[in-house]
Structure 1
Amino acid sequence: MLADRLGVRRVSIGDLYRRMAAEHGMTALQFNLHSELDDKVDHYIDQLQHDIAASGERLVVDSRLAWHFFTDALKVHLIADPAVAARRVLARPGDAVENYASVEEAGRQLAGRSESERQRFLARYGVDKNDLRNYDLVCDTTRANPEQVVARIVDMLETPASALPTPACHLDPNRVRPAAVTDDDGEIVVHHQAPHFFAIRGQRRLSAAVRAGETMTAMVLTSGTAAAAAGPPVR
């Protein structure tokens, strides 16, 4: 949808990865584990991304590491509640690469793949894909529809970088947990401890967003140091 809106080509490294898994007769999780032992898989995909980036073509690229290779791009990270993500993949037509018997199984395999990728990227590139500071824009798609997400990305493309925090976070207020801090009416400031977010300021604004039924609310990501000083989260 974003590629159509911008009139550019879309490149999916995820689709390529799934095709490679099928060629090896493996599931997506098995191929991730295989890639931990055989670095030729990552080398091939890395070189492909280097070549695409060097071409200078304006593209929409989806990839776990696109933000690392496409250094001049607008880097967008989409997140969702793990249970919602599991239901989404379960609803897709199953095949030999991704086929789950239940939401629970889908959730376990998605978590396993994500952690396998995280450990592989840490070992090979020294980068943590879970660190939201790698991205320019973080959008929570748990309840937001695709049109809302595309609108946020297009707005970001059209807004001077100096006018926005890094990253600009648009999160589902229902997923943000309150922390033991003094209430106030200012902007919502959150700390990320994957997969959870904790509000350390702006509790009144957060409560108002929940009551209003907002699906994505602008919030500010803070450092771990600031969050630690705020005290433990209220569960």
Structure 2
Amino acid sequence: MTVRQSIVFNGDLGSGKSTVSVVIAQRLGLRRVSVGDLYRQMAEERQMTALQLNLHAELDQAVDGYVDQLQRDIAASGESLVMDSRLAWHFFTDALKVHMITEPTEAARRVLARPSGPAESYSSIEEAKAKLRERSESERNRFIVRYGVDKARLRNYDLICDTTRATPEQVIQHVIDVFEGRLGGDVLRDAPPLLLLDPARVYPTEDIATLRGLWDSEFVGDVAEAGDEALEPLTIGYTGEYYFVVDGHRRLSAALQNGFPLVPARLVAEVDEPVVGGMSAVDYFAAQVDPSLIHDWAAAHGITLPLPEHALLNTGPVLAGDPGPAA
């Protein structure tokens, strides 16, 4: 396994990158560099919002050029550091590349709660969600055109961490454990990325009625005693929007029953990659997951899983949490 000299963070707006990277830099005694702070400063100097600067950068390469060269120089210096940057993973070769994700409404709530400034200001959760989505898509399109890389592809990274329900301290400790080799070594060596997912946001692909041992109190108790880091990683597929279990429903159920905010997993396929029999992750998810399956799993575990678009299209106006029409 590669020895990591630095940690570079990117991910969803509102996922907590700044909070986590600041503390990790302090604990590891490393310098922290924030490209996000630099972009916000550039936006204020130009009397633009962060979104306006993103859209402007799609046309003016000088905006990215200055920041890109800064990152190249830092990466080439060999300095060990912590970097909060949308694109550092593209420039660094010896870093632990961490991609942080969170549920969009939770991300909007977080950014709405923090002090606003001329570069970033929202009046409601819905406005924040819409503008965060637009900013993210602007960045993604710009990176594809300018660098030929897609920031949404999970295989760009070593670690994917969902911060929706995990506390900052839990995220910080998990990232440090990965960086120092105490967590996920096999996955990182054999088939990165390591996924640390919120079990309440992972979709089942099997009918709960056919799964054996979900409510085995001894197994659930053993999982509780060992903790999430000791759990054998689930096997997960990713559609580009939704995470789903290919193998590991029993472990996922135990994690939910124990209230774990994170569960380890390995990625078997994303988007157009094959899961089984040449079927892509997107097609497999659409074929396996229907409203009744989602409803039964969610009801049994006391969680809410939004109905994916394909399920809504196939069943008509069914609300998440409702079982839908009988088969």
Give matches, 1:171-182, under 5 Å: 171-180=197-206
Deviation readout 1:51-85 (Å, 9 max, x if unpaired): 11122111100111110011111111111111110
Alignment correspondent of 2:260: 214
* Partner residue of 2:144 out of 96, 114, 122: 122
Deviation readout 1:173-216 (Å, 9 max, x if unpaired): 00111124774787422212233211222112112211110001
Q: Using the alignment, how far apart are the partners of 1:26 and 1:197 within structure 2?
A: 36
* Partner residue of 1:234 out of 283, 290, 294: 290
When the two structures are aligned, how many residues end up with a matched partner? Answer: 235
Amino acid of the structure 2 residue aligned with 1:169: L
SS of 1:138's equivalent in the other structure is: strand
Alignment correspondent of 2:103: 81
Q: Using the alignment, how far apart are the partners of 1:180 and 1:116 within structure 2?
A: 36
Whether 2:53 is the aligned partner of 1:31: answer: yes
Amino acid of the structure 1 residue aligned with 2:114: R
Q: How many angstroms does 1:105 deviate by?
A: 0.4
Whether 2:186 is the aligned partner of 1:163: answer: yes
Q: How many angstroms does 1:159 deviate by?
A: 1.5
Q: Using the alignment, how far apart are the partners of 2:180 and 2:262 within structure 1?
A: 19
Alignment correspondent of 1:225: 274
CA contact (8 A) 1:184 1:202 kept: no
Which stretch shifts more, 209-218 or 162-171? 162-171
* Residue segments in structure 1 that go unaligned for 5+ positions in a row: none
Length-normalised TM-score, structure 1: 0.94
Q: Using the alignment, how far apart are the partners of 1:234 and 1:170 within structure 2?
A: 25
Q: How many angstroms does 1:110 deviate by?
A: 0.5
**1:184 and 1:168, CA in 2 relative to 1: closer, same or farther beyond 3 A?**
farther
Of all paired residues, the percent bearing the same amino acid is: 54
* Residue segments in structure 2 that go unaligned for 5+ positions in a row: 1-22, 214-231, 276-280, 292-327
SS of 2:121's equivalent in the other structure is: coil
Which stretch shifts more, 222-231 or 142-151? 222-231
Q: How many angstroms does 1:233 deviate by?
A: 2.4
Segments of 4+ in structure 1 off by > 6 A?
A: none
Deviation readout 1:114-147 (Å, 9 max, x if unpaired): 0000000001111110111111111111011111
**1:14 and 1:191, CA in 2 relative to 1: closer, same or farther beyond 3 A?**
same
Give matches, 1:1-235, under 5 Å: 1-159=23-181, 163-165=186-188, 166-180=192-206, 183=211, 187-223=233-269, 224-226=273-275, 227=281, 228-229=283-284, 231-235=287-291
CA contact (8 A) 2:100 2:162 kept: yes
